């Protein structure tokens, strides 16, 4: 019974780690926009990302 609980705990922890890794690293936005690039910067302390702002000419 003790071995079963250890194996079950390991499988559960790995499954949860895989789920959270997928949620954290999955791309949730894709697309194309047209406009003038106003700002382009690298942000992040642990995980670096490139971010930008586009002026689409609409006030």
pLDDT tens per residue, range 3-25: 999 999 999 999 999 999 998 88
Q: Which residue is associated with the tokens 């971010």?
A: 51
Phi, psi of 33 (to 5 degrees): -130, 150
CA distance 25 to 46: 13
Q: What number is the average pLDDT over the span 18-33?
A: 83
- Report whether 52 contacts 31 (CB < 8 A): no
**pLDDT beyond 90 at 48:** no
What pLDDT is attached to residue 59?
58
- Report whether 34 contacts 57 (CB < 8 A): no
**pLDDT beyond 80 at 50:** yes
Per-residue pLDDT band at 32 (split at 50, 70, 90): confident
**Residue 38 is encoded by which pair of tokens?**
């106003």
Q: What number is the average pLDDT over the span 29-44?
A: 84
């Amino acid at each position: 019974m003790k071995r079963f609980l250890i194996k079950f705990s390991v499988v559960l922890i790995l499954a949860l780690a895989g789920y959270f890794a997928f949620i954290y690293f999955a791309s949730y936005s894709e697309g194309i926009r047209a406009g003038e690039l106003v700002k382009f910067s690298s942000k992040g302390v642990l995980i670096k990302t490139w971010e930008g702002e586009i002026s689409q000419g609409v006030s």
